[in-house]
């Protein structure tokens, strides 16, 4: 009996998480909590530089560190590449199996129907190009997970922004001509674990919420579920005037045996419940 605990601990998988301070990294830490997790935020490892001093090599790396500012990348593409491409290459160089996270923004949004893993990428923005180059930098021992419109209880995301604006204003202008799949990071992290635990083949995987909507429809759902009396004024992408172009429709679906995520409305309700927001 005395050896049961050491044997159990010795068998635990050593999991390194990059970008652990972000919303996805935080969710991954929770989803893999029964593993031996080393969660590194930017202070622990800025992936633009070197590599961390590790006592033991990891058995698995979850690479959530990323340049995520879509608009800022338009004037700083080289800096975005330092994180999303060179940083990914440094993480891959650790030699462990890798989950690398990418984006629906690798597509141009002109396809008639959802994008699947075999769909041809054609990024419109510097950010999208950076994420596509990052996919290629992940190497051959990687699950490259594309997801979209991430939101969670922590970090900067659309849900948290709308909750703040909805409590301050009577009306918010929101883009109504972009359509995608808002994905709760808790559900994405759980699906990532399923992908790894069942030893799915390396390669591209689309993991995004079931269902789709526009940003305006998403905002209306947030206000409704949070009990906020705030109107949504629907505007066009051109009216919004963001520096970086976005795909008009970037609905991700899988043509493979990918784990299925819950509907985005379920993700929204789970997020709001964790935040203690809503009508109960």
101 is catalytic: no
Are 177 and 252 a contacting pair, CB within 8 Å? no
Structure tokens at 196: 């790894």
Sign of the four-CA dihedral 186, 188, 202, 141: negative
Sign of the four-CA dihedral 242, 145, 204, 210: negative
Q: Which of 101, 115, 127, 184 is catalytic?
A: 127
Laid out side by side, the sheet with 142-147 consists of 36-40, 14-18, 60-63, 98-103, 142-147, 203-206
- Whole-number Å distance between alpha carbons of 48 and 40: 14
Annotated catalytic residues are 127
């Amino acid at each position: 009996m005395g050896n049961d605990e050491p044997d159990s601990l010795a068998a635990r998988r050593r999991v390194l998480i990059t970008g652990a301070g972000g919303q996805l990294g935080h969710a991954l830490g929770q989803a893999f909590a029964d593993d031996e997790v080393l969660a590194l935020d930017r202070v622990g490892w800025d992936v633009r530089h070197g590599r961390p001093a590790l006592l033991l090599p990891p058995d698995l790396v979850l690479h959530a560190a990323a340049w995520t500012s879509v608009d800022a990348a338009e004037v700083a593409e080289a800096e975005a590449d330092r994180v999303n491409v060179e940083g990914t290459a440094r993480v891959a160089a650790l030699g462990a199996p890798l989950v690398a996270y990418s984006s629906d923004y690798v597509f141009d949004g002109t396809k008639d129907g959802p994008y699947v893993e075999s769909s041809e990428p054609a990024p419109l923005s510097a950010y999208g190009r950076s994420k596509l180059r990052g996919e290629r930098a992940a190497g051959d021992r990687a699950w490259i997970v594309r997801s979209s419109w991430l939101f969670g209880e922590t970090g900067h995301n659309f849900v948290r922004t709308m909750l703040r604006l909805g409590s301050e204003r009577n009306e918010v202008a929101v883009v109504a001509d972009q359509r995608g799949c808002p994905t709760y990071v808790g559900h994405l992290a759980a699906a990532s674990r399923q992908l790894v635990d069942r030893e799915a083949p390396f390669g591209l995987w689309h993991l995004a919420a079931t269902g789709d909507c526009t940003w305006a429809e998403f905002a209306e759902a947030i206000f409704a579920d949070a009990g906020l009396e705030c109107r949504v004024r629907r505007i066009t992408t051109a009216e919004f005037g963001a520096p970086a172009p976005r795909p008009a429709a970037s609905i991700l679906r899988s043509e493979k045996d990918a784990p299925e995520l819950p509907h985005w409305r379920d993700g929204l309700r789970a997020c709001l419940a964790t935040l203690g927001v809503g009508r109960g």
